[in-house]
Each structure stands twice: as structure tokens, then as C-alpha cells.
């Protein structure tokens, strides 16, 4: 990306995704202001870019990106954001939560004068660091065009999905088959093992077959080695599945595959694996050991 960005960008939330996105934007020479609830997560970022509250991010920025965990985090962040004027600002909600939680948070920002987009992301930490995310954005075309130069620095593709709320709807739609895939992959590995195949061999053959999906190659290491650090955790998968289930219930649509995956994620969280990488769900469905360091 060669032309300089004239907009000042703010980023709220320096978790795994937000931190990777901040590093990417700094590398792209984007003027950036950041805030995270736990200041330790800002360590190593330029001192002058770190401020004390979401409201302070808004005061220093034209476009405010928000990448926090869930609906409860949105409540806390918007409570601060809405203490300052948002006139002339664009608020871009990139967190994954239910459609209702995202749209009602953005409606409050719009009431405070902001133009708004719901623009959740697909991809994980490495694509974020490389500027190769997929962004699905709902909102006015003019607001999408305003944010596009920022999206171009973060994403391999930014799709304008339609009206406000359509971006988060698309994100939940994308994540549903993914969650069902990890569950069925675990069952496939478990079936193979019980017929004398090795887990690593099953994974290598599936990865080279029509049963592979784009996300599989990057997850094989974590499926085989549960001691590797989490890129996206089981509790986050549960949170997403509950957002899908709530969004389906709102339109009286049955999602049995979502319910199965949700029950498995709930059981894993209940068993104490909420902080593990989602690859652990594959191991559990396969009947493999969940212990760190175990490969079978
Ligand atoms: N990781 C992925 O691969 C991935 C991919 C696509 C989309 N996403 C979505 O991106 C969002 C962030 O994911 P992540 O993996 O970066 O999560 P994460 O590593 O768990 O980080 C969560 C972030 O949310 C903040 N947060 C949580 N509760 C908060 C509160 N009450 N008030 C203010 N901030 C709060 C955390 O602040 P503290 O540091 O203070 O706890 C942290 O910055 C989620 O909605 C996730 O579903 C993630």
C-alpha cells in the first residue's frame, strides 16, 4: 500500500486479533491510537499511541475500530465511547457478537453522531498480521468507502454485504459450517483411529482431499499438539455458536448442526478447556487425550 493514509485510526481492543491488527497498521505507517482494558497488552507498541480510555481513542481518531471479545465487552467499551462526541467519526464494530448486540451498540454510536459499520473479520492471527483478513461490512456505501483505505491495509478482501447488520450476519453464517466442520473432523479422526489408522495420517490425507477446507492446514499442528498456544479459544467458539443460535431463534430457523457443535463446545468449557485452542474440540470429538503435550 503506497499512498499515505490521511485518516487517523483508533483501535480499541488489543487481544490476539486487535494486537496483530495494530502491528499491521503501524507497519503500514497508519497514524494509530490504541486502548486496551489491560494495559499490559499494549506493551511494545509506540508509547505515544496508547491512551487511557475508549473515549480518548475517539478523541484522537477519525475512524475507530473495535475488536473486543463479546457483548459484555461491547457494553463496557460503548459506555466510555459515548461519553465523548462522535460527530464526524466513523465507528467500525469488528467484534463477533450476536446481531442484536452489535446493531444496538452501533445504533447508540449513530445517535451520538457517528457514521457506523458492522465489519467483523474472518481469518486468524497470522492473516491479521499479514494484512490478509476477510472483512464483511454492513452499513451505508459512503461509510464503507470512507473505511475502505483502512480495510485495504488489513484485509485481502473487504466485502460490502449490504445494510447495517448484514456484516455480522455474514460472519455468523461463515462460522456455522466451520464449527460443524471441526466437530465432524474429530468424528472422522476418531473413526479412523478405531479402524487402525493414525491421527496424523488421517489428517494428512484429509488435507490433500476434497474434504479439506481452507482453515485446515493452519490447524493441523494444534490438533496434533494441544500444548501449542491458542489462536482462538474454545470459549470464543462457544460464544460464537450461542450468537448463531440466538440469531437463528430470532427468525425461528432450526440449526441442528449448530446446536450439536454448541453442546460439544459447552461440554468442553464445562470440563475446563475454555482457554484451549479450538483444535481441542477436534481432539475431544475424536476421543483423543486433551492433555498438553499429548499427540494421541
Ligand atoms: N482470534 C481469532 O482467530 C479471531 C478470528 C476472527 C474473529 N475473531 C473475533 O475478534 C474478537 C477478538 O478476538 P480475540 O481472539 O482477539 O480475543 P482475545 O484474545 O480473547 O481478546 C479479547 C479482547 O477483548 C477485550 N475485552 C474483553 N472483555 C472486555 C471488557 N469487558 N471491556 C473491554 N475490553 C474487553 C480484552 O481486553 P483484556 O486484554 O483487558 O482482557 C481483549 O482486548 C472476538 O469477537 C472474536 O470472536 C477472532
**Percentage of the chain with pLDDT > 70?**
98
Do residues 239 and 261 touch, judged by C-beta distance below 8 A?
no
Has residue 84 got a pLDDT over 90? yes
**Is the predicted pLDDT of residue 2 greater than 60, yes or no?**
no
Please list every protein residue whose CB sits less than 6 Å from any atom of ligand 1. Answer: 13-18, 36-38, 41, 67-69, 72-73, 76-77, 95-96, 121, 124-125, 231-232, 236, 240
CA distance 148 to 162: 15
- The distance from CA 119 to its chain's CA centroid, rounded to whole angstroms, is 10
**116 has a pLDDT exceeding 60:** yes
pLDDT tens sequence across 224-270: 999 999 999 999 999 999 999 999 999 999 999 999 999 999 999 99
**pTM, rounded to two decimals:** 0.94
Centre of ligand 1 to C-alpha 33, Å, is 17
The residue whose CA is least distant from atom 5 of ligand 1 is 124
Q: What mean pLDDT is reported for the chain? A: 95
**Is 60 exceeded by the pLDDT of residue 185?**
yes
Question: What's the rounded Cα separation, in Å, for the pair 17 and 119?
Answer: 14
pLDDT digits (tens, 9 = 90+) for 38-83: 999 999 999 999 999 999 999 999 999 999 999 999 999 999 999 9
| CB-CB contact of 154 with 24 (8 Å) | yes
Residue 6's pLDDT is 86
pLDDT over 90 at 290, yes or no: no
Radius of gyration of the chain (CA): 20
What Cα–Cα distance (Å) separates residue 198 from each residue in 50, 191, 285, 295?
Answer: 49, 10, 15, 11
Amino acid at each position: 500500500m503506497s499512498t499515505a493514509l490521511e485518516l487517523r485510526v483508533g483501535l480499541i481492543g488489543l487481544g490476539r486479533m486487535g494486537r496483530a491488527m495494530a502491528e499491521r497498521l503501524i507497519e503500514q505507517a497508519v497514524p494509530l491510537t490504541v486502548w486496551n482494558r489491560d494495559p499490559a497488552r499494549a506493551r511494545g507498541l509506540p508509547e505515544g499511541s496508547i491512551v487511557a480510555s475508549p473515549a480518548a481513542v475517539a478523541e484522537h481518531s477519525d475512524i475507530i475500530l473495535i475488536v473486543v471479545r463479546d457483548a459484555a465487552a461491547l457494553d463496557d467499551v460503548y459506555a466510555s465511547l459515548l461519553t465523548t462526541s462522535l460527530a464526524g467519526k466513523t465507528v467500525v464494530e469488528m467484534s463477533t457478537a450476536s446481531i442484536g448486540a452489535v446493531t444496538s451498540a452501533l445504533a447508540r454510536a449513530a445517535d451520538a453522531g457517528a457514521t457506523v459499520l458492522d465489519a467483523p473479520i474472518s481469518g486468524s492471527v497470522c492473516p491479521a498480521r499479514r494484512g490478509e483478513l476477510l472483512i464483511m461490512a454492513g452499513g451505508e456505501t459512503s461509510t464503507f468507502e470512507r473505511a475502505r483505505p483502512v480495510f485495504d491495509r488489513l484485509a485481502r478482501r473487504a466485502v460490502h454485504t449490504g445494510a447495517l447488520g448484514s456484516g455480522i450476519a455474514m460472519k455468523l453464517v461463515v462460522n456455522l459450517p466451520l464449527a460443524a466442520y471441526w466437530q465432524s473432523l474429530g468424528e472422522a479422526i476418531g473413526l479412523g483411529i478405531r479402524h487402525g489408522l493414525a491421527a496424523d495420517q488421517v489428517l494428512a490425507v484429509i488435507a490433500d482431499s476434497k474434504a479439506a477446507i481452507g482453515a485446515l492446514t493452519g490447524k493441523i499442528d494444534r490438533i496434533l499438539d494441544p500444548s501449542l498456544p491458542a489462536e482462538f479459544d474454545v470459549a470464543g467458539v462457544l460464544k460464537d455458536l450461542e450468537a448463531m443460535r440466538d440469531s437463528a431463534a430470532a427468525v425461528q430457523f432450526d440449526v441442528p448442526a449448530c446446536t450439536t457443535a454448541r453442546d460439544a463446545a459447552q461440554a468442553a468449557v464445562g470440563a475446563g478447556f475454555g482457554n484451549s485452542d479450538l483444535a481441542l474440540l477436534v481432539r475431544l470429538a475424536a476421543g483423543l487425550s486433551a492433555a498438553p503435550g499429548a499427540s494421541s
